[in-house]
Amino acid sequence: MAGEQLALTVLMGVLLVGVAAFLTRIEDWRSYASPAGGGTVGESGYGHREKPGGVLRWLTTVDHKDIGLLYGAFALIALAVGGLAVVVMRLELTTPASNIVSPQFYNALLTSHGITMLFLFGTPILAAFGNYFIPLLIGADDMAFPRINAIAFWLLPPGALLIWAGFLIPGIAPSQASWTLYAPLSVEQAHFGTDLMLLGLHLTGVSATMGAINFIVTIFTERGDDVSWANLDIFSWTMLTQSGIIIFAFPLLGSALIMLLLDRNLGTMFFAVEGGNPILWQHLFWFFGHPEVYILVLPPMGLISYIIPRFSGRKLFGFKFVVYSTLAIGVLSFGVWAHHMFATGIDPRLRASFMAVSLAIAIPSAVKTFNWITTMWNGRIRLNTPMLFSIGFVANFIIGGVTGVFLAAIPVNLILTDTYYVVGHFHYVIMGAIAFAVFAGIYYWFPIFTGRMYQRTLGKWHFWLSMVGTNVTFFAMILLGYVEMPRRYATYDAITVGPLDVITLLHQAATVGALILLVGQLVFVWNVLQSWLDGPKVTDGDPWDLKDDGLFTREFAWHEDRLTAADGGEPQNDGVRADGGTPETSSD
C-alpha cells in the first residue's frame, strides 16, 4: 500500500512539473485563444468545412456538433457500464443469502454504479444535447469557446478510467465507500481504488465546470440578433440555470474531494472522528449533492417542455412560469441540503427550517407539472416515441416528486431514511424521468444528428418495456421501504425488521423489472445502431410536420437548410440564417 501511494505521489509530481514546464513554454497566450472566442456571430474564422477524416477528426474536432456526439457516445457507454453493474447486483438480490458475488464486490459495484450514472452518464448526456443543439437553437455558429469545449470533453475519458481503475487494473482494490463517500468509512477504508476514484471525480468536476462556463457565455453573448431573453427557447433556459448551479456546486465538491484525499493520504483530520468532524463531510457533500440532483433534472425538464407542445399541437402553456419556476428551483436548490441529514442529530430548529424549504421547492416542480398537463389538455396529441417518453416522464416524475415530499417531512423521514424507499424515490426521478427525457430527446432529434429515421415500432417497444420495467422495479422498492428493508445490503438473510418472505418476493419483483428494463435498452441499442447505419434517409426538412401548427423551430430550419444545400454538406447560408433567422420560427 505504501509503495502504491509513493508511486502515486511521484506520478502526480511528474504531472505537475510537466504542466509547469508546458506553461512556461507558452509565450503568446493569445495564440491559444480560439478564433471564434469572444467574436460575434458569423465571423468564425476556422473551417468546419476542412475537417480531417477518420479518427483524427474525432480527436481534434472543436465543432460543437461533433463534441455533442462525443459526449453522447461517452455517456451512453457509461450508461451501459452502470446498467450492467446493476444487473449483477439485482441478480445477487434474488435470494436472501449471498449467491453470485461476494458482499465486498457487491459494495464495489454499488459504488461504481452510483458514481458512473451520476457523473459519467447524467451530466455528460445533458452536455451532449446542450452542445449539439444550443448553438442551433440560439442562432450561434458554435459555442463561445470551442477549444475549451473540446478540453472539457477530453477530461472525461481519463476521469472514467480513474473511476473504474479498481475494476480495470488487477491489484487495485475498487472503492466500496458508496457514491456519498461518507466519512469516517471513506477515510478509513484503505482501497486504493477510492483514491483513484476521487481523482477521477475531480476531473469530471473540472470538465463540468468548464462546460458550464461555456454554456453561460454562449447563451449570453452568442445569441442571434432576433433571439432575445423573451423568446429564448425553454431548453436553453434550463441549461443556463443548470450551468449557473454547476458553477457554485462543482467547485465545492472539488474542494471536499481534495480534503478527503488529504485525510486519506497526508494525515490531515478534517473528517476524523477524533479531532475532526465526519458530519462536516455530509454538509459539504450535500451542499453539492442536492444542487446536483437539480443539475440533472432541470435540462430534462427543459427537453420535456420543448417536446410536449410539438406533439400537442400548441405552444407551451405558461412559458413564463416555466422559466420562473426553473430559476426559483435554481436558487432554492442550495437551501435544502440538510434534508439528507435529518437522522444525524443536527439541531432540531435547523432541521425544521430545512424541512420547510424542502417542502417549498416542491412548489415550482408542481407548477411545471401542471404546465405540462395543461399543455396536453384538449391538445391534438400525437403519440409517437418522443411524446410517449415525455408523457412517461411526467407520470414518473409525479411519483418521484411526491415520494420526495414525503421524505422531506421529518417524522416520515426518520422512519424511511436509509431504506429502499429512498432508493425508489430517486430512481423514479433519475431513471423514470431523467433517462426518459434523454430518450425523448434522442428520438426527437434523431433525424437531425443522424440524417436518418429510427424504426418507429422498435421505439414504441423501447418505451413500453422501459415504462413497465421502471415501475415494476422501483415501485417494488418503495414497498420494500415500507417493510423497512435497509438500502445498500448485499444480503438480507439476517434481516429482522420485516417479514423475510415479503422482502424476498419484492426483491425478486424488482429484479424481474430490472431485466425487463435491460431488454428494453437492448432494443434501444439495436434500433439506434441499425437505424444510424442503415435507416431510411430523412429527406423532409420538417419530419415532425411542425409547420402545420406553426411550431417549426430553428434547429429543424438548420436541418432543412442542410438538406437543400447543393452538395448535401454544410449549409451554404449558415451565416445568413445565424444572423437573420427565419420569420416563421417559434421559440418555445
Site residues (vs ligand HEM, CB under 6 A): 180, 293, 296-297, 339-340, 358, 361-362, 365, 401, 404-405, 407-408, 413, 417, 422, 425-426, 429-430
Nearer to ligand HEM, 179 or 454 (CB): 179
Nearer to ligand HEM, 393 or 524 (CB): 393
C-alpha cell read off for 499: 417479514
Residue 297 interacts with, from Cu ion, ligand HEM, none (CB under 5-8 Å by kind): ligand HEM
Question: What is the nearest approach in angstroms of Cu ion to the Cβ of residue 209?
Answer: 21
Question: What is the nearest approach in angstroms of Cu ion to the Cβ of residue 329?
Answer: 12
Nearer to ligand HEM, 471 or 585 (CB): 471
Residue 46 interacts with, from Cu ion, ligand HEM, none (CB under 5-8 Å by kind): none
8 A C-beta contact, residue 176 and residue 164? no
Nearer to ligand HEM, 136 or 296 (CB): 296
Going by C-alpha positions, the residue among 311, 306, 308 that lies closest to residue 326 is 306
Nearer to ligand HEM, 126 or 528 (CB): 126
Nearer to ligand HEM, 318 or 401 (CB): 401
Question: What is the nearest approach in angstroms of ligand HEM to the Cβ of residue 247?
Answer: 18
Classify each residue of 480-503 as buried b or exposed e, where b means 16 or more C-beta atoms within 10 Å of its C-beta.
Answer: bbbbbbebebbebeebeebeeeeb
Question: What is the nearest approach in angstroms of ligand HEM to the Cβ of residue 218?
Answer: 24
CA 162 distance to own-chain centroid: 19
Rounded Cα–Cα distance for residues 535 and 335 (Å) = 48
Question: What is the nearest approach in angstroms of ligand HEM to the Cβ of residue 454?
Answer: 27
Nearer to ligand HEM, 8 or 362 (CB): 362
Residue 404 interacts with, from ligand HEM, Cu ion, none (CB under 5-8 Å by kind): ligand HEM
8 A C-beta contact, residue 36 and residue 144? yes
Question: What is the nearest approach in angstroms of Cu ion to the Cβ of residue 355?
Answer: 12
CA atoms within 13 A on the CB side of 280: 18
Residue 405 interacts with, from ligand HEM, Cu ion, none (CB under 5-8 Å by kind): ligand HEM
Residue 149 interacts with, from ligand HEM, Cu ion, none (CB under 5-8 Å by kind): none
Residue 156 interacts with, from ligand HEM, Cu ion, none (CB under 5-8 Å by kind): none
419 DSSP β-pair partners: 486
Rounded Cα–Cα distance for residues 305 and 315 (Å) = 10
Rounded Cα–Cα distance for residues 481 and 407 (Å) = 12
Rounded Cα–Cα distance for residues 549 and 372 (Å) = 18
8 A C-beta contact, residue 245 and residue 303? no
DSSP output for 208-258: HHHHHHHHHHHHHH---TT--STT--HHHHHHHHHHHHHHHHHHHHHHHHH
Residue 365 interacts with, from ligand HEM, Cu ion, none (CB under 5-8 Å by kind): ligand HEM
Question: What is the nearest approach in angstroms of Cu ion to the Cβ of residue 270?
Answer: 23
Question: What is the nearest approach in angstroms of ligand HEM to the Cβ of residue 531?
Answer: 29
Whose cell is 437573420? That residue is 580
Question: What is the nearest approach in angstroms of Cu ion to the Cβ of residue 560?
Answer: 43
What character string, x for contact with Cu ion (CB under 5 A) and - otherwise, covers 277-306? Answer: -------------x----------------
Please tell me whether the peptide bond between 184 and the residue prior to it is cis, using omega within 30 degrees of 0: yes
Residue 407 interacts with, from ligand HEM, Cu ion, none (CB under 5-8 Å by kind): ligand HEM
Nearer to Cu ion, 162 or 477 (CB): 477
Q: How far apart are the first and last CA of the chain?
A: 56
Nearer to ligand HEM, 297 or 479 (CB): 297
Nearer to ligand HEM, 62 or 430 (CB): 430
- C-beta nearest to Cu ion: residue: 290
Residue 138 interacts with, from Cu ion, ligand HEM, none (CB under 5-8 Å by kind): none
Question: What is the nearest approach in angstroms of ligand HEM to the Cβ of residue 351?
Answer: 11
C-alpha cell read off for 295: 443539475
Residue 422 interacts with, from Cu ion, ligand HEM, none (CB under 5-8 Å by kind): ligand HEM
Classify each residue of 514-534 as buried b or exposed e, where b means 16 or more C-beta atoms within 10 Å of its C-beta.
Answer: bbbbbebbebbeebbeebeee
Rounded Cα–Cα distance for residues 136 and 154 (Å) = 23
- C-beta nearest to ligand HEM: residue: 404
Nearer to Cu ion, 333 or 504 (CB): 333
Question: What is the nearest approach in angstroms of ligand HEM to the Cβ of residue 292?
Answer: 8
3-state secondary structure (DSSP) of residue 486: strand
CA distances from 242 to 21, 73, 542 (A): 35, 21, 30
3-state secondary structure (DSSP) of residue 35: coil
Rounded Cα–Cα distance for residues 476 and 423 (Å) = 10
Backbone angles phi, psi at 537, to 5 degrees: -65, 140
Residue 116 interacts with, from Cu ion, ligand HEM, none (CB under 5-8 Å by kind): none
34 DSSP β-pair partners: none
Question: What is the nearest approach in angstroms of Cu ion to the Cβ of residue 283?
Answer: 13
DSSP output for 1-19: -HHHHHHHHHHHHHHHHHH
Going by C-alpha positions, the residue among 570, 430, 575, 496 that lies closest to residue 119 is 430
Nearer to ligand HEM, 123 or 511 (CB): 123
Q: At what angle do helices 123-138 and 192-221 cross, to 10 degrees?
A: 10
Nearer to Cu ion, 199 or 338 (CB): 338
Question: What is the nearest approach in angstroms of ligand HEM to the Cβ of residue 420?
Answer: 11
Angle at CA of residue 413, ends 407 and 418, nearest 5°: 100
Residue 510 interacts with, from ligand HEM, Cu ion, none (CB under 5-8 Å by kind): none
Where on the chain is the footprint of Cu ion (CB under 5 A)?
290
